[in-house]
Structure 1
Amino acid sequence: MLEHVRHHQLSSGNSIKMADGNKIYHPLGKKSIRLLEIVPALPDEQIECVLTTIHDIEDAPGFEALSYVWGDTLSSQSILCNGIHMTVTQNLEEALRYLRPLPSWESVQTWSTNHYLHSSRQVWRSFARNRYEQQENTMLLRLPVWVDAICINQDDLAERANQVKLMRKIYQAASTVKIWLGKEQKPVASTSAASRGTHESVTLTTNHPLMAQAGTNSNSLAAREPLMSQMRRLAPRHHLETYGSMPIVLSFLAQALRNMEARPNSLVSLRPLQDSEHRNLVYGLPPPSAKEWKTFREFLSNPWFQRIWIVQEVVLARKAAVVVGNWHLNWNAVGKATTWFEAKGYAMPRTMRYNLNDPKDLLPVMGASALWQMSEFPDKRVPLLTLLENFRSRHTSQDVDKLYAALGLAQETEGSDLDGLHMLLEPDYNKPLEDVYRDLAIFLIVDHGSLIVLSHVDRPKTNSPTWPSWVPDWRMAKASSEIWPSTDALPFCADFHQPLSLSFGRDLNVLSLEGLKVDTIRFYGDKLISYGFGFETYAQELEFVQGAWN
């Protein structure tokens, strides 16, 4: 059992004391955080952990951070935190179980280098491996970890609001952000292959369409030959799905990275872009009808890729690792590979009004590729409107977090560590949603001296009758895209550089503006309703554009 009170000495000489008594939480200071230490144990033992309070985040020892989806299902097994039983969600309980240190690796049988899935024999060796490949317990949580659901008192709204303002520092300070995507999908059929592993590794490594030959001379003719052509001549004895979903996922990622490093492939242009069979063959990928696409699509459809809070967690990370069961992947590899798939036409649209009966080789990669592209912004700062636009299609349990989850990344909040946040952006979980979104719109108009935020307004018929007509409802995906990107310089100058003149009276829901009457709209038509992917131009769209110009 744990000691009821434990002390840890920091390098700076400050001590951290555990909260004692029969409470898990005690009040935190403005710069304080809590860190979680997980007691080493065998996989089937109860999870025991200890919370320590760091009185100033600047003095925090080395720690890691967990990025995950809470989920709605509570775990049937409680955890012991400071000696007190605590109930967490099933997804978090599984994450802690998979990531906590084992008491000793001497009692665990590790894989030999001849194992059929050992990374040294596979095309994913540069970015992924299984935790059972080595004796050292390096891929688990060896340092204290910051986990929002436990390290923040979720019942204290004031504490939650204050911790939101520390999120940027927390994820920047973490040595590694562990991205938990859940347990690996089990193999479709149980075979004795796992026990025979070493004898079938060559078959798996060389004979599957997605697997490049390990050790092939890169200058040979065979290495320059399209991968699918090489592998098609070989008859596979075992399907990768026999060994679970991750070998297939890793093979897709490895092939995308391999294509990124290769010279531009002129063979792609020999046939029309609609010939996806030819495109896939040239890129060394399975035909559109292959069932491997479904496995890869399920991996990219993980709810984590669409959550709001994970954006700053991974964008701000010094280093990030994706964890699926016992598999650990370099996040950079996932980000680069999904960006390649998006660039080559494999991406599903962000919002799809119609469900496809057969998506074939289209993938929901845009959630992951957008994260990767945001991490390339200078100083990890993104314009607030760009974030809000991206967050419209992301999910959160609380609608106010469409704003609060953006504060740590927004360019407009830079310097808030010293000056504090603008009063219109200050997190307040007691504030009505309409007021939060209205104050956000006021801030964007005043701070930018521009009405560009109005182009983000969409007026669904189901909206509240009291909702200000000039305030975007960030909860809902917009039916049409904006007239111009919010990050670009405006291609017009309708105001002739005159300063914006606006005012608010007693009723903050009323925005009063000055302007010039230019003309009167004689008539207007209904907006076009999308019924396809947007890759084709339909006759009614052409007629609309021609009529508008006329």
Structure 2
Amino acid sequence: MYEPLDPIRREVRLLQLIGGSDDGPIQCSLRTVSLDETDLEFATLSYVWGDESITRDVLVEGHPRAVTANLESALRNFWRYFTENGVSISIRCDLVSSIVDEPNGVTGLRRYLSSEDCDLHHESDADEGTDSEDERGADGTSNKPSVKDRLFVRRIIAAGHRARVGGGYLPIWVDALCINQGDPAEKNKQIHMMQEIFTKAGCVFSWLGPSGHNNLDLALSAIRKLAVRVRDGYSISQLNQDYPELCAMHSDLPPFNKYWQAISNFAEAEYFERSWIFQELWAAADSDETIFLCGDEHLPMGSLTRYRAWADSLLTQRSDDTPLFGRFIPIFPLITQIYGMKAGRENAVGATRLFLDIVRRSRCKNPRDKVFALFRIFRMGLTPDYTMPVADVYAAWASDSSQDLPLGSLIFYSGIGLYPRTLGTHNLASWQPDFERLGDQTSWCDAVYAYRHSDAGTPAKYKPTISPTRYLTCFGVQVTKVGKVASQAGKKIVDYTNVTRGMIMDYALNSTSMILLLKYLVDNKGRFWTHAYHERGSPLHALVETVNECTHGGDPPTLGLLGDTLREFTPYNLFMKALTVRDGPSNFTVDELKFLGFQSEEKLWECLAGMSSNPKDDDGFNPATEPSEGQENALLGFVSRLLNFSFNKNLFHTVDGRVGGGPPGTETHDLVYLIHGCSLPVLLREVEGKLRHVGVCYIPGLSGVDVFRILKESESDVRELSLV
């Protein structure tokens, strides 16, 4: 069925639908063409493969071919759309073509087709909206086609493309069928051409699933109607006037009604999580004929981007008097990133940071596709090769000239102490980010710290390098080592074997891990609650700073946490706030109380209240007074971060008495190094005479700008390190 393709002619195969039936398979044929043909006209299909264990047969050149159920539903949708609408759609397209250049021709046709007695009427013709004021002259006449006219023409053309695919008049490129998936050499060559395939396509269809799937068809319809009116400056009050149904509050919690629920489902759809989607939409972003499909509904990309620009503009308009639902309007971050890259804005913050952000959020079947799906967009000097070991693909990315992240910052995204760590699966070096698991292992905080301090001041002789044998050579100085792991992150014991869609936070386990931290605080009350516990530099202040930094990122939220505010961080108050933020009963369970060392809840509160009843301090502050709103917010914020910390980080003490937070795999005797090019301390472990990277950690006084100061002061002690 698959004849060899000629790479010199840059040949590709296109799929042509030739028939079908309600109770039989869809029938297709394959046509080989060259991308260099001047009159070549075709469409492409962008979709999620779905569960590969659930398949349906299609007939390709008369031979049954098993494809995923999601792909079969897309092909069947094209065929059914043609059989039900092909004739009327063809006439509508001819009418548009005949009058599109006539003055007010589209407006007249739009009114005719939207009338109920018109045989060619389609419900989308009646989408509400009037022409935008900014597109009319001072005398009220139209200087150019109105928004409504332009969107109307796009809908007609989109429907025409859809019907032509279903009738076999417009061939379509579908990766699963147009690439011989059993030929790695052909797959390598075709993937190298994918960006051009999507760029040259006259139309890109983005298939979201059959009608009713997560109400995505309702989302497409709602956004299509909104796109007619929304523009920069379009307010929530105007929205309420034009579309009161969108502003109805059917729930006290976001997204408040079925329309915003559907749009939220769309913004968070599995479709946008697929690694290849970014390249496919990026290549087709400049086309007005990129069309989202769900069942019978459709949405041109132009309408989505118009909505997206408006939703994004609301971020700067929102204020305290903005209606609650107006603060939760989905903004489609992936679409925002794509258009930001197209405009050159995203590159300002670093291409590699954006690459890692996409990798962290995306999924794919083959771990190599974490790199191959993006190599053309980020101008990597790589050639897709599915015979390469995964570790070699990731190493090639790390050493590629397009990679603008300082090599010292790579270790923010890697380490054998991260969980889940698939040791042995790909034979990754300890310093290599595991792109397959990156979304489970790292958070936005890691990215913030990786970029907070540049290594521009690192002497050339101390800049990290990668060897052909996958060693990371760096330079640093040992400052201390882990003396005791005080609490174990709950994340370490989560079973990830059945996790299929990113990280699933186990809140019950999160609550349990927080109990472990609370027990640690009770057991060490004499260490943390001394007479000067509220002062900067105290053990309690160091603990609060560690928890805040490990879970907050950005500017340290601890800077203003001094004096009176920190006085409210008593054991009693911490336990009270813990009950409000943890996911569980309103009181501690019997087992939890026993674990904490108390026979009853009364004994617990009696003990904690006694620890909090310090005498009046010399500065006249009475700890028994009612805390201010600012103190309450600071305490609640800390306890919320403590819950997060207890799940994701180990609390440890160093041999010289410092407190720190590290990855779930932190162990006693791990070495603490400061390394040139990295703004946080690095945990290293000696295994069989070789150094392995465990992960970055946070230790007050040894982090951020202190790293560079200490390295400069300790230049004579800097040694060369080879991480395996």
Normalising TM by the smaller chain, what interval?
0.5 to 0.7
- CA offset at residue 373 of structure 1? 3.4
Return the letter of the residue paired with 2:4. H
Matches within 5 A, 1:79-478: 79-100=58-79, 102=82, 105-106=86-87, 113-115=114-116, 118-123=123-128, 127=151, 139-141=163-165, 142-185=169-212, 246-247=217-218, 249-252=220-223, 254-255=225-226, 258-262=229-233, 285-287=247-249, 289=251, 290-317=257-284, 318-319=286-287, 320-341=290-311, 344=314, 363=330, 365-377=332-344, 383-410=351-378, 412-413=379-380, 421=381, 425-443=382-400, 450-457=407-414, 459-465=417-423, 467-475=428-436, 476-477=438-439, 478=441
Matches within 5 A, 1:10-49: 23-29=1-7, 31-39=10-18, 46-49=25-28
Q: Using a 3 Å threshold, how does the CA distance of structure 1 residues 140 and 387 change in structure 2: closer, same or farther?
A: farther
- CA offset at residue 68 of structure 1? 0.8
Q: Is the 8 A contact 1:342 1:366 kept in 2?
A: no
2-structure distance, mates of 1:488, 1:257: 40
Query: How many pairs align?
Result: 436
1:478-507 CA-to-partner distances (Å, cap 9, x unmatched) read: 4332666699896563225x366555567x
1:120-154 CA-to-partner distances (Å, cap 9, x unmatched) read: 32237664799899996765424221110111011
**Structure with the higher strand share, 1 or 2:** 2
- CA offset at residue 441 of structure 1? 1.7
Q: Is the 8 A contact 2:78 2:162 kept in 1?
A: no
Q: Is the 8 A contact 1:297 1:364 kept in 2?
A: no
Please give the secondary structure, in 2, of the residue aligned with 1:88: strand
Q: Is the 8 A contact 1:37 1:143 kept in 2?
A: yes
- CA offset at residue 41 of structure 1? 5.7
176-185 or 73-82, which moves further after superposition? Answer: 73-82
1:401-451 CA-to-partner distances (Å, cap 9, x unmatched) read: 1101011211x33xxxxxxx4xxx332222222232233223369877753
1:275-309 CA-to-partner distances (Å, cap 9, x unmatched) read: xx99x999963326133333333333332121111
Q: Using a 3 Å threshold, how does the CA distance of structure 1 residues 113 and 168 change in structure 2: closer, same or farther?
A: same
- CA offset at residue 396 of structure 1? 0.8
2-structure distance, mates of 1:283, 1:521: 61
- % identity of equivalent residues: 21
**Equivalent of 1:494, from 457, 461, 469?**
457
Q: Is the 8 A contact 1:386 1:486 kept in 2?
A: no
Q: Using a 3 Å threshold, how does the CA distance of structure 1 residues 48 and 344 change in structure 2: closer, same or farther?
A: same
Please give the secondary structure, in 2, of the residue aligned with 1:538: helix
- CA offset at residue 165 of structure 1? 0.9
Q: 1:4 maps to what in 2?
A: none
1:36-61 CA-to-partner distances (Å, cap 9, x unmatched) read: 22225666664222212225556671
Q: 1:539 maps to what in 2?
A: 638
1-structure distance, mates of 2:700, 2:452: 28
Return the letter of the residue paired with 1:295. A
2-structure distance, mates of 1:505, 1:379: 30
Q: Using a 3 Å threshold, how does the CA distance of structure 1 residues 468 and 56 change in structure 2: closer, same or farther?
A: same
2-structure distance, mates of 1:174, 1:33: 12
- CA offset at residue 314 of structure 1? 0.9
1-structure distance, mates of 2:475, 2:152: 59
Q: Which has the larger radius of gyration?
A: 2
Return the letter of the residue paired with 2:387. N
Please give the secondary structure, in 1, of the residue aligned with 2:44: strand
1:331-390 CA-to-partner distances (Å, cap 9, x unmatched) read: 1222342454455469xxxxxxxxxxx9x9565833444344344348999924422321
Q: Is the 8 A contact 1:129 1:328 kept in 2?
A: no
Q: 1:72 maps to what in 2?
A: 51
82-91 or 287-296, which moves further after superposition? Answer: 287-296
Q: Is the 8 A contact 2:341 2:347 kept in 1?
A: yes
Q: 2:610 maps to what in 1?
A: none
2-structure distance, mates of 1:75, 1:481: 35
- CA offset at residue 326 of structure 1? 2.1
168-177 or 130-139, which moves further after superposition? Answer: 130-139
Q: Is the 8 A contact 1:75 1:93 kept in 2?
A: no
2-structure distance, mates of 1:384, 1:376: 17
Q: Is the 8 A contact 1:171 1:313 kept in 2?
A: yes
2-structure distance, mates of 1:134, 1:366: 24
Q: Using a 3 Å threshold, how does the CA distance of structure 1 residues 488 and 173 change in structure 2: closer, same or farther?
A: farther
Q: Is the 8 A contact 2:206 2:293 kept in 1?
A: yes
Q: 1:206 maps to what in 2?
A: none
Q: Please report the TM-score for the alignment, with normalisation by the length of structure 1.
A: 0.64
1-structure distance, mates of 2:384, 2:280: 18
**Structure with the higher helix share, 1 or 2:** 2
Q: CA RMSD in A?
A: 5.0
Return the letter of the residue paired with 2:125. S
Please give the secondary structure, in 2, of the residue aligned with 1:322: strand
Return the letter of the residue paired with 1:460. L
Please give the secondary structure, in 1, of the residue aligned with 2:266: helix
- CA offset at residue 456 of structure 1? 3.2
2-structure distance, mates of 1:127, 1:341: 18
